[in-house]
């Protein structure tokens, strides 16, 4: 399988802020890749380096087989980008912006443009300054999605969209997926990521800390277990991968690293299981674990 | 009373934001005024030299239209400060207008005011606060100037008349800023409109002052800058004239508040109308977009330059009307006869047009930075557009725009001076040449912005600072006895004085070469730096 994006060991600092700290990222051709992480983790910075808008301090970046810094303009004809903050020219209409960006990219699909305008319920005759935040976002989305490019780079594309429009966005991406388009989707909306993404990468403080399919990631988190045993439990505390163990007579509550589930179940059944409730991690828990780990560090940074 | 809730907070906020800007401006004005007096005292050791200088100035149409008349040719205060009377009033007006727009429309446009309005802020709080800050600034500026002038040895009454007439111009244009901030939707447009009003005010007083037989002197009274001149500091000290700008300010405040009552936050007075759902076939390149973004301001400037050119050419043909007294006639002969003095006038005015056109060039080149910081460059640079093409589109607008403007002014002055002198065929090409020769210096100053944009984008507004320094060198370099190398720093000083003067090609080629080198360096550095 070929890769649309390969990043390895990427570093980028803004003055004293080390925004990217040895980031590795791989997006396979044809997949929808979720890009998640807390605020300030470095998602937008990564995307800007991928677009050749910023120059990495160290590391290798390859985009569609080329170097995004040196071949920026040529590569850009093969991709479309939706920025995180969309600002339009105050006196150009939405329709003009869509056409202009499409033409500068090398042409856009007229039929798709009209179809998207209808589905996103966007009035293309309004001037840039009069659009609401959500409608500005839609202008950028239509401009990007109406082109038949190989790669879509979307930085929080649904921020500001109402739930109905978010649903339209999902349908459109589903259709693109069927056309084998590659998508890099940075997002904070977990249900969106769960619905669309084949694989995800989680970035924290400038590094990718997890990457894989959603079920791979589930594997890496904890299952919570409530068990009632025939005899008193023993040896549980020594097992690796067990957290928050709480024993009350024959009752056991704990969290288990999903990878260690098998060993823990053996130990439990050695004492005889009378009843058992095992809860797989929800997606929220999965991400929150990665997000929350950041809190102490961030708070520390704030104190300093 | 609720309409004004929060004014105090906003005033404090504004003063905090401008805690450097305001004192620096005040110091610059005070130093210019006191410095001029100091220099003049050294220069005119005896009264005869003073009177002679004043007569020469009043006999020169170029100086009269540029700076105004000297009412009392024997007054040391007036003769030493006349270059700063109307011109200083113009700059104080600019400061006052910018301050008001900065704390009303700029805030509203950026959405910061919306944030504040969501708290407890009265409807008029922002405008009131901006007016307090602006009026306070110009009044303090006027008073400090008055004290500094007294310190330089001038009389008390005249010094206060001078300081307060500056403040009066500031108050009038604070009012203008209050209204323009309401009728436009962007701070850029509001400042542009204020600048147009300032320009018109300056031209009206030039018409009044240049009236050789006195028949059009009344035109000065239509201009806030004319009011400041009519205070006649050190030549009568008619401080009551300042009631006119005060009344003017009150009327404009009333107009601005009426406008606020009628519009929504963030909106202008003119409701936005829908535009085309599709882009015209021509809108398909960065250049087409750049033209779209610059054309509004270009047309407005072009119209102003045409009018200015026609006006200047027209005044030039009346030059001999100035020459009434015998001593003046004698002087005119020394200066090369009527044709010589007409050419000298036209050359001076063309130099001023060059300065004005540079302001367009700087502003157009600064658009690069505002597009970048508003995140509007990013989506373009993420398409097939190379950095050089995007940069080039705006640079081309700045370079060709200034070229077109100065040529329009040259054409206008050629036509009107040629028509009234009866030698159109000779005058038009002469004036076009005089206009073209301004371009290298204009381009050099524009190119300074381009290289700053590539090399140190955060300092790009330093382009205005450099421009201001060049202006000051040109205006005061000789009065202050600056060393020659410093005077040589200003590109405008190297422009041949045409028509009439000697044309030498070397400085023109040098200026052009430096401008080209700076532009190329700007492209090279921009391609190597981060966007954002
Ligand atoms: N132009 C800049 N100058 C200085 N620091 C910056 C700049 N842009 C980003 N940073 C810093 O770099 C880090 C990464 O920012 P980035 O915008 O990439 O985060 P993000 O993951 O996109 O966050 P969000 O989810 O809020 O969009 C942050 O600490 C941010 O403060
Ligand atoms: Mg971001």
B240 confidence band (pLDDT: 50, 70, 90): very high
Residue A54 lies in a domain: yes
Mean pLDDT of B243-264: 92
Q: Are residues A144 and A267 in the same domain?
A: no
Residues 156-185 (B) with a CB less than 8 A from some CB of A:
185
* A290, pLDDT greater than 50: yes
- CB atoms within 5 A of ion ligand 2 belong to A 44, 84
Q: From the CA of B301, how many Å to the nearest CA of chain A?
A: 19
Indicate whether A182 and A77 sit together in one domain: yes
* Residues A145 and A92 reside in one and the same domain: yes
Same domain, A153 and A234: no
Closest in B186, B289, B384 to A100, CB measured: B289
Asked if the C-beta of B270 comes within 8 angstroms of chain A's C-beta atoms, the answer is no
Which among B215, B239, B213 has a CA at the least distance from the CA of B227? B239
- Kindly report the nearest CA distance between residue A296 and chain B, in angstroms: 30
Of A167, A190, A217, the last residue of a domain is A217
pLDDT digits (tens, 9 = 90+) for B98-111: 999 989 987 777 76
In a domain, A39, yes or no: yes
In this prediction, residue B470 has a pLDDT band, given cuts at 50, 70 and 90, of very high
User: Model confidence over B71-84: pLDDT tens digits?
Assistant: 999 999 999 999 89
Q: How far is the CA of A285 from the centre of ligand 1 (A)?
A: 25
- Encoded tokens for A284: 């929220």
Confidence check: pLDDT of A31 > 50: yes
Quote the domain boundaries for residue A199.
Answer: 3-217
User: Distance between CA B419 and CA B397 in Å, rounded?
Assistant: 32
- Distances in Å between the Cα of B530 and the Cα atoms of A17, A149, B77, B425 are 15, 25, 53, 53
Of the partner residues A89, A93, A103, the one whose CB lies closest to the CB of residue B277: A93
- B215 Cα–ligand 2 center, Å: 66
Confidence class for position B271, pLDDT limits 50, 70, 90 = low
**Mutant choice from A45, A68, A90, A143 vs B, greatest count of B C-beta within 10 A:** A90
% pLDDT > 90, chain A: 58
Question: How far apart, in whole angstroms, are the C-alpha atoms of residue B475 and residue B109?
Answer: 36
What angle do the packed helices B156-183 and B187-210 form, to 10 degrees?
130
Cis ω for the linkage preceding B499 (within 30 of 0): yes
Do both A213 and A233 map to the same domain?
A: no
- CB-based contact, B380 to chain A, within 8 Å: yes
Per-residue confidence band for A300, with pLDDT thresholds at 50, 70 and 90: very low
* Residue having the nearest C-alpha atom to atom 30 of ligand 1: A40
- Residues composing chain A: 304
Structure tokens, B397: 């607008």
A303 within a domain of the structure (yes/no): no
Q: What is the CATH number of the domain that holds A44?
A: 3.40.50.300
Q: Specify whether the CB–CB gap between A261 and A224 falls below 8 A.
A: no
A109 burial type by CB count under 10 A (0-12 exposed, 13-18 middle, 19+ buried)? middle
Give the pLDDT score at B4. 86
**Residue B449: closest CA among B376, B509, B525:** B525
Pick from A46, A69, A70, A100 the residue to mutate for testing the B interface (most B CBs within 10 Å): A100
Band (B123; pLDDT cuts 50, 70, 90): confident
Q: For residue A98, tell me if it sits in a domain.
A: yes
Task: Kindly give the number of the ligand 1 atom that is closest to the alpha carbon of B532.
Answer: 1
Q: How far apart are CA A264 and CA A113, in angstroms?
A: 55
Please report, for residues A76, B20, B84, the alpha-carbon distance to residue A68 in angstroms, rounded to integers and kept in the order given: 9, 42, 55
Q: How far is B127 from chain A (nearest CA, A)?
A: 22
At residue A91, the pLDDT reads 86
Residue A72 has pLDDT above 80, yes or no: yes
Cβ contacts (< 8 Å) between A48 and chain B: which residues? 378, 531-532
Tell whether B268 lies on the interface with A, counting CB pairs under 8 A: no
Which has more confidence, B381 or B120? B381
Q: Which residues of A touch B391 (CB under 8 A)?
A: none
Rounded to a whole number of angstroms, the CA Rg of chain A reads: 23
Q: For residue A292, is it within any domain?
A: no
Summarize the confidence of residues A194-216 as an average pLDDT: 90
Residues 457-516 on B with a CB inside 8 Å of A are none
Q: What is the whole-number distance in angstroms between the Cα of residue A172 and the centre of ligand 1?
A: 28
In this model, does residue B317 exceed pLDDT 80?
Answer: no
Per-residue pLDDT at B481: 80
Q: Specify which of B175-184, B195-204, B212-221, B506-515 reaches the highest per-range mean pLDDT.
A: B506-515
Final residue in a domain of this structure, among A217, A249, A271: A217
Q: What dihedral angle (degrees, nearest 10) is formed by the CA atoms of A286, A287, A288, A291?
A: 140
How confident is the model at residue B334, as a pLDDT? 67
Looking at residue B348, its pLDDT comes to 87
Expressed in angstroms and rounded, the spacing between residue A8 Cα and the centre of ligand 2 is: 20
* Dist CA B431 CA B435 (whole Å): 6
Distance from CA of B529 to the nearest CA of A (A): 7
- Say if A283 is an interface residue toward chain B (CB within 8 Å): no
CA A291, CA A286: separation in Å to the nearest integer? 9
Lowest mean per-residue pLDDT among B37-51, B66-80, B295-309, B419-433 = B37-51
Mean pLDDT of A116-130: 93
A48, A89, A96: which to substitute to probe chain B, counting the most B Cβ within 10 Å? Answer: A96
Per the structure, how many domains does chain A have?
A: 2
In a domain, residue A72? The reply is yes
Element (H, E) at A28: strand A17-28
Kindly report, residue by residue over B495-513, the tens digit of the pLDDT: 999 898 888 999 999 999 9
* Domain final residue, candidates A172, A191, A217: A217
Q: Do A87 and B275 touch (CB under 8 A)?
A: no
For residue B324, pLDDT over 80 is answered with no
Mean pLDDT of B222-247: 96
Q: What b-and-e string marks burial along A160-189, b requiring 16 or more CB atoms within 10 Å of the CB? A: bbeeebbebbeebbeebbeeebbbbbbbbb
d(CA B504, CA B511): 12
Span of A109-113, B190-194, B218-222, B437-441 with lowest mean pLDDT: B190-194
* Residue A258 maps to a domain: yes
Q: Inspect the interface and report whether the beta carbons of B379 and A100 lie closer than 8 Å.
A: no
Give the mean pLDDT of A53-73. 95
Asked whether residue A202 carries a pLDDT value surpassing 70, the answer given is yes
* Residue of B281, B275, B464 whose CA lies nearest to B358: B464
Question: What are the tens digits of pLDDT across the range A37-52?
Answer: 989 999 999 999 999 9
3-state secondary structure of A12: strand
Q: Tell me: cis bond preceding A229? Omega within 30 of 0 counts.
A: no
Q: State mean pLDDT over A279-283.
A: 75
Which residues sit with their C-beta closer than 6 Å to ligand 1?
A: A 14, 17, 19, 37, 39-45, 84; B 532
B285 touches chain A (CB under 8 A): yes
Given a cut of 50, whether residue A277 has pLDDT beyond it is: yes
How many angstroms away from the CA of A103 is the closest CA of chain B?
6
Predicted local distance difference test score (pLDDT) of residue A187:
92
- With contacts defined as CB-CB under 8 Å, which chain B residues touch A72? 381, 386-387
Residues in chain A closer than 8 A to B277 (CB atoms): 93, 95, 124-125
Whether residue A291 has pLDDT greater than 80: no
Residue A1's pLDDT is what?
Answer: 57
pLDDT (average), residues A16-43: 94
pLDDT band with cut points at 50, 70 and 90 for residue B328: low
The phi and psi torsions of A185 (rounded to 5 degrees) equal -120, 105
Give the whole-number percent of chain A exceeding pLDDT 70.
Answer: 95
> Is A18 contained in some domain?
yes
pLDDT single digits (tens) B54-70: 988 888 787 888 889 99
Interface test with A, best of B270, B273, B277, B390 (most A CBs within 10 A): B277
Q: How far out from the chain centre does Cα B259 lie?
A: 27
B374 vs A87, A106, A124: nearest CB = A87
Q: What is the pLDDT of residue A298?
A: 43
Residue whose C-alpha is closest to residue B237's, from B149, B144, B157:
B157
CA atoms of A17 and A28, how far apart (whole Å): 30
Q: Are residues A62 and A19 in the same domain?
A: yes
Would you state the pLDDT for residue A295?
46
CATH number assigned to the domain comprising residue A234 = 3.30.70
Residues A132 and A230 in one domain: no
pLDDT of B112 higher than 70? no
Say how many CB pairs under 8 Å bridge A and B.
113
With bands split at pLDDT 50, 70 and 90, how would you rate the model's confidence at B285? very high
> Is the confidence at residue B185, as pLDDT, over 90?
no
**How far is residue B170's CA from residue B139's CA, in Å, rounded to a whole number?**
8
Summary mean pLDDT of chain B? 89
Do A63 and A4 form a contact (C-beta atoms < 8 A)?
yes
Q: Separation of B487 CA from ligand 2 center, angstroms? A: 49
Please report the pLDDT score of residue B329 as a whole number: 67
């Amino acid at each position: 399988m070929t890769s649309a994006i390969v990043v390895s060991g990427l570093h980028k600092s803004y003055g004293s802020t080390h925004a990217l700290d040895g980031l590795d990222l791989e997006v396979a051709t044809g997949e929808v890749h979720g890009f998640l992480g807390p605020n300030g983790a470095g998602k937008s910075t990564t995307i800007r380096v991928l677009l050749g808008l910023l120059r990495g301090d160290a590391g290798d970046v390859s985009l569609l087989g080329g170097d995004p810094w040196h071949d920026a303009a040529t590569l850009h004809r093969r991709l479309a980008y939706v920025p995180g903050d969309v600002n339009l020219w105050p006196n150009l209409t939405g329709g003009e912006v869509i056409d202009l960006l499409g033409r500068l990219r090398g042409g856009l699909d007229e039929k798709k443009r009209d179809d998207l305008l209808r589905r996103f319920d966007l009035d293309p005759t309004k001037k840039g300054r009069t659009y609401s935040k959500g409608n500005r976002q839609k202008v950028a989305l239509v401009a990007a999605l109406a082109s038949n490019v190989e790669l879509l780079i979307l930085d929080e594309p649904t921020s500001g969209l109402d739930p109905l429009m978010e649903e339209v966005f999902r349908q459109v991406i589903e259709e693109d997926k069927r056309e084998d388009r590659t998508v890099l989707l940075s997002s904070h909306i977990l249900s969106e990521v769960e619905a669309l993404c084949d694989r995800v990468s989680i970035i924290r403080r400038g590094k990718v800390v997890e990457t894989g399919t959603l079920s791979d990631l589930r594997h890496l988190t904890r299952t919570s277990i409530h068990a009632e045993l025939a005899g008193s439990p023993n040896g549980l505390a020594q097992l690796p991968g067990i957290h928050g163990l709480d024993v009350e007579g024959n009752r056991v509550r704990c969290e288990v690293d999903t990878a260690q589930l098998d060993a823990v179940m053996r130990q439990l059944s050695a004492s005889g299981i009378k009843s058992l409730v095992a809860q797989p991690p929800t997606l929220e828990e999965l991400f929150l674990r990665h997000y929350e780990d950041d809190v102490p560090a961030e708070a520390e940074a704030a104190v300093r | 009373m609720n309409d004004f809730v929060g004014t105090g907070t906003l005033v404090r906020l504004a003063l905090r934001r401008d805690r450097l800007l305001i004192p620096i401006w005040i110091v610059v004005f005070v130093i210019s005024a006191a410095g001029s007096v100091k220099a003049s005292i050294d220069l005119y050791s005896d009264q005869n030299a003073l009177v002679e200088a004043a007569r020469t100035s009043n006999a020169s149409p170029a100086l009269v239209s540029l700076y105004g008349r000297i009412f009392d040719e024997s007054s040391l205060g007036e003769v030493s400060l006349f270059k700063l009377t109307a011109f200083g009033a113009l700059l104080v007006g600019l400061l006052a207008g910018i301050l008001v727009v900065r704390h009303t429309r700029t805030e509203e446009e950026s959405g910061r005011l919306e944030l504040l309005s969501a708290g407890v802020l009265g409807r008029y709080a922002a405008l009131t606060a901006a007016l307090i800050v602006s009026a306070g600034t110009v009044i303090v500026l006027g008073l400090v100037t008055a004290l500094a002038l007294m310190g330089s040895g001038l009389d008390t009454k005249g010094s206060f008349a001078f300081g307060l007439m500056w403040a009066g111009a500031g108050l009038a244009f604070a009012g203008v800023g209050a209204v323009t901030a309401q009728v436009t939707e962007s701070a850029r447009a509001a400042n542009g409109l204020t600048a147009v009003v300032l320009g018109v005010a300056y031209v009206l007083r030039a018409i009044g002052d240049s009236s050789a037989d006195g028949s059009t002197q009344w035109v000065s009274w239509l201009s806030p800058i004319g009011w400041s001149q009519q205070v006649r500091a050190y030549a009568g000290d008619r401080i009551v004239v300042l009631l006119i700008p005060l009344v003017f300010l009150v009327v404009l405040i009333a107009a601005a508040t009426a406008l606020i009552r009628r519009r929504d936050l963030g909106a202008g007075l003119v409701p936005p109308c829908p535009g085309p759902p599709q882009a015209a076939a021509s809108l398909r390149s960065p250049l087409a977009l750049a033209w779209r973004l610059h054309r509004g301001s270009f047309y407005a400037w072009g119209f102003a330059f045409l009018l200015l050119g026609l006006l200047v050419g027209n005044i030039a043909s009346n030059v001999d009307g100035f020459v009434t007294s015998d001593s003046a006639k004698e002087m005119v002969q020394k200066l090369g006869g009527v044709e010589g003095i007409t050419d000298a006038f036209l050359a001076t005015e063309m130099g001023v047009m060059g300065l004005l056109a540079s302001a367009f060039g700087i502003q157009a080149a600064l658009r690069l930075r505002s597009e970048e910081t508003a995140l509007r460059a990013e989506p373009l640079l993420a398409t097939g557009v190379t950095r050089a093409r995007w940069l080039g589109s705006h640079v081309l607008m700045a370079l060709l725009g200034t070229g077109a403007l100065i040529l329009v002014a040259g054409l206008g002055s050629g036509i009107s001076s040629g028509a009234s002198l009866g030698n159109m065929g000779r005058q038009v090409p002469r004036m076009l040449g005089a206009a073209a020769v301004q371009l290298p210096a204009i381009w050099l100053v524009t190119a300074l912005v381009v290289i700053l944009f590539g090399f140190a984008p955060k300092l790009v507004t330093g382009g205005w600072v450099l421009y201001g320094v060049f202006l000051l060198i040109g205006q005061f370099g000789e009065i202050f006895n600056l060393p020659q190398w410093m005077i040589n720093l200003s590109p405008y000083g190297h422009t041949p004085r045409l028509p009439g003067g000697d044309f030498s090609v070397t400085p023109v080629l040098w200026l052009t070469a430096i401008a080209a080198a700076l532009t190329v360096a700007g492209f090279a550095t921009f391609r190597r730096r981060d966007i954002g």
